[in-house]
Amino acid sequence: MDGLKRYVEQAREKKYELVIKGYENVTVIEGLGRFLDRKTVGVKNSNAEKEKILSAKKIIISTGSSPYVPEIEGLRETQFFTSDTIWNLDYLPDSFIIIGGGAIGLELGQALLHLGSKVTVIEAMPSLLPMTEPEISYMLKDILSREGMEFHTKARIARIGRTSKGKFADILTHDGKKRVEAEEIIVASGRRPNTGYLELKNAGVKTDQVGGIVTTPKMETSSPNIYAAGDCVSKKMFLETLAAREGVIAVSNIFGEPLQIDYNSTAWAVFTNPQVAGVGMTEIEFSRTNGSCSCRTFYLKDLTMASIIGETDGLIKITVDPKNNRVVGIHILSPNATDIITEGSYAVKYGFTIGDIISSSHIFPSLSEGIKLAAQSFLRDISKMSCCVE
């Protein structure tokens, strides 16, 4: 953990602190800020007796997010970790209960499992990673289960408490009441925007039910000349790259360049092993709004490179609009899925058809060839094809 902390501190200094210090026209003021009106912000830090008043014609809010801690009986009285505090561990506990089967919970859970801890994941939803295709969720759960991770899905936590050896969670499932015990607990129930202290009502800035700032595609808020970007914005995905893009769009619009955010072609990823990545709509999402779709699922067991490296657990699913044969979504469970998904982003953003993907030469053997084979499966039985055939 010490080595990891040092790396993070060095990267933060190199990529953020030193970069911002290089701009002569940027002044950094540390402290908690709040709106006094639409054009005025007050900032106060722990060392200042008096609030510093700042005024501007244009304001960008980018206060980020924090781990969300659900209201569960006994949880706050029982010590727990989050994705922000887990790095403070100076030893490896024997076992963990992880509350939440989303990206954060699975990434941390598998890492701790590989380090030697026993890991049990408790998820309220019927499946893991609800934002992805069900086939991916089921297969990833099977992979992690074979590694030794335990799961309780569609489970409600009634109470958290301490035992003589650690902690427990009393849960309610379709099988009835159960008690799960572990040395430590990690809360991985998502994140919430850091907007509670901003007094946004003073500036006329509207938020959603969890405090996310409502914005237009230009990153404009409900208050003229106030913009927002990053995790404080009301949206589905909390991604560093997306936050950076939103910041660029906000600044561009302030200076008169009318750019807009495109969430639909923004790829996301989960850094498990194998990795999960996706872009665009799932089959369920497209069918819900359009009635029906054309979908194909290609399994890595039929991919030459997957066989070569001995990692054949995985799949690639493509969702297509049957009206025009354009790709509207690609979701992947595969080694290096985070590298492969970029092709999917281009396909969704620029309206590629299945034919466009098939007619593009892909490297053989490679994992990215799976995208082409998934596209070819719309037209033929790929199990009866020779290598590299179009």
Q: How would you label 164-174 residue by residue, b for 16+ Cβ within 10 Å and e otherwise?
A: eebbbbbbeee
Domain of 289, in residue numbers: 268-384
CATH number (domain holding residue 199): 3.50.50.60
Tally of domains within the chain: 3
SS3 per residue for the chain: CHHHHHHHHHHHHHHHHHHHHCCCCCCCCCCEEEEEECCEEEEECCCCCCCEEEECCCEEECCCEEECCCCCCCCCCCCCECCCCHHHCCCCCCEEEEECCCHHHHHHHHHHHHHCCEEEEECCCCCCCCCCCHHHHHHHHHHHHHHCCEEECCCEEEEEEECCCCEEEEEEECCEEEEEEECEEEECCCEEECCCCCCHHHHCCCECCCCCECCCCCCECCCCCEEECCCCECCCCCCHHHHHHHHHHHHHHHCCCCCCCCCCCCCEEECCCCEEEEEECCHHHHHHHHCCCEEEEEEHHHCHHHHHHCCCCCEEEEEEECCCCEEEEEEEEECCHHHHHHHHHHHHHCCCEHHHHHCCCCCCCCCCHHHHHHHHCCCCCHHHCCCCCC
CA 196 – CA 183 distance, rounded (Å): 33
Q: Does residue 79 lie within any of the structural domains?
A: no
The answer to whether residue 312 sits within a structural domain is: yes
The verdict on residue 261 lying in a domain is no
- Tell me what pLDDT residue 17 has: 84
Domain boundary among the residues 189, 223, 245 is at 189
**pLDDT of amino acid 121:** 98
Amino acid at 91: Y
* Contacts by residues 366-370 (CB-CB < 8 Å, ≥ 24 positions apart): 366/305, 367/303, 367/305, 367/306, 367/334, 367/335, 367/336, 367/339, 367/340, 368/339, 368/340, 368/343, 369/303, 369/304, 369/305, 370/298, 370/300, 370/303, 370/306, 370/316, 370/332, 370/334, 370/340
Domain boundary among 189, 210, 232: 189
Q: How far apart are CA 128 and CA 133, in angstroms?
A: 10
Residue 333 is encoded by which pair of tokens?
Answer: 């469970």
Domain shared by 182 and 201, yes or no: no
In this prediction, residue 4 carries a pLDDT of: 74
How many angstroms separate the CA atoms of 327 and 341, rounded?
Answer: 13
Q: Within this chain, do residues 235 and 279 fall inside the same structural domain, yes or no?
A: no
Q: Which residues make Cβ contacts (< 8 Å) with residue 18, sequence separation at least 6?
A: none
- Could you tell me the sign of the dihedral formed by the alpha carbons of 208, 209, 212, 217, in that order? negative
Report pLDDT for 388.
Answer: 62
Residue 260 in domain: no
Same domain, 104 and 247: no
pLDDT for the residue 344: 97
pLDDT at 15: 84
Residue 178 and residue 125 in one domain: yes
| Residue 319's CATH number | 3.30.390.30
Say if residue 196 is in the same domain as residue 184: no
Residue 77 domain-assigned?
A: no
User: Which DSSP letter does residue 260 get?
Assistant: -
pLDDT in tens, 18-38: 888 889 899 999 899 999 999
Mean pLDDT by 10 residues, the chain (390 residues): 78 84 89 96 85 96 96 95 92 97 97 98 95 96 98 97 96 94 97 96 97 98 98 92 96 97 96 98 93 92 96 98 95 98 97 96 95 94 70
CA-to-CA distance for 250 and 241, rounded, in angstroms? Answer: 14
Q: Is residue 72 part of a domain?
A: no
Q: Residue 239: inside a domain, yes or no?
A: yes
* Whether residue 279 is found in the same domain as residue 338: yes
Judged by DSSP in three states, 184 sits in: strand
108 located within any domain: yes
Do residues 158 and 239 both lie within one domain? no
Amino acid at 121: V
Query: Using one digit for the tens of pLDDT, what is the confidence trace for 140-194?
Result: 999 999 999 999 999 999 999 999 999 999 999 988 999 999 999 999 999 999 9
Q: Which among 157, 172, 189 is the end of a domain? A: 189
